[in-house]
Structure 1
């Protein structure tokens, strides 16, 4: 990669970061506008890391839960594109070749083998799946929420023992607690427990 390409990529991440500052300061509309402009520039085929980062934060800027879900799904798709890039290994722990998380590719089953996320991307998966679980819960789809929450928990081993990792693990635990009992008061197992 040339210095000019690196500087250009750094500029995109800087602009995303500036929009995120606005988002965290409470200016959701301006953050949404700026992130939308960047999305138009990088496009659906742009750098996967940029698309993942931008879509993850764009989801947080949405007012409609269905729009939030759509952006979080774009973030997961972009992360999976990084996972599927040449040079990654196969551990069978990815989310599937369609971005839905339903695949379990590997030899002998007629599906493409799943790729292990690049080390830097592994830390995104707990948060990406946690966001999707939250989205599905907002849309009153608790079973889909449970599936993604189980994936968030399974991926949480990649998190460091630092403020970010502790925060994501705590958020997973809070959502697990919230989903553990349905309105009828009956405990519900998570998919990996059934």
Structure 2
């Protein structure tokens, strides 16, 4: 149910999430956060896994605090674990769930690293590497592979500073 007491369609929910993400990219991170949190309140932790994964993944980037980002990145990974290729392909026939995992594990690794939990970060960066083959050789695949290398190096160097190339939802 949304604020008007009606149920949004799956497509309407994805459009609302996309609009909120665009607010952040347009320089309004607080408005984006608020919009995504409002959508989260309607879908909740048991809602459609695609909506939960997408929303949590983008919401995590809107927090500067690594602990807050980590909470949302864990929710994104949890939702991905519940997401099926069948459900995902109803949204976009060219996607498969396995392709989500490199980015999801990368984000967890980066958050753990920023929090100084290097063993956990190493575990997650290894998980990201284990599924890099799910990515294409396109711009997105190159971006994720590059970020995996950057985070792995930061873990080796025991660096907790935010990466300048890290997404920030803005």
Shared fold per TM-score greater than 0.5: yes
- Of structures 1 and 2, the larger Rg is shown by 1
What is the CA-CA distance between 1:26 and the residue it aligns to?
Answer: 2.5
What is the SS of the residue equivalent to 1:161? coil
1:170 aligns with 2:146: yes
2:36 maps to what in 1? 35
Q: How does 1:92-131 map to 2 (within 5 A)?
A: 120-131=96-107
Q: Is the 8 A contact 2:70 2:112 kept in 1?
A: yes
Return 5+ residue gaps in structure 1 as ranges: 1-6, 86-118, 184-194
1:12 aligns with 2:13: yes
- Which protein is richer in helix relative to its size? 2
For the residues of structure 1 that align with 2:52 and 2:19, how far apart are their CA atoms? 16
1:74 maps to what in 2? 75
What is the CA-CA distance between 1:84 and the residue it aligns to?
Answer: 10
Return 5+ residue gaps in structure 2 as ranges: 1-7, 87-94, 160-170
What is the SS of the residue equivalent to 1:123? helix
What is the CA-CA distance between 1:179 and the residue it aligns to?
Answer: 2.0
2:57 maps to what in 1? 56
> May I ask how many residue pairs the two structures share in their alignment?
145
2:136 maps to what in 1? 160
Give the structure-2-normalised TM-score.
0.79
1:151 aligns with 2:152: no
For the residues of structure 2 that align with 1:127 and 1:9, how far apart are their CA atoms? 23
1:135 aligns with 2:111: yes
Q: Is the 8 A contact 2:57 2:72 kept in 1?
A: yes
What is the CA-CA distance between 1:182 and the residue it aligns to?
Answer: 4.1
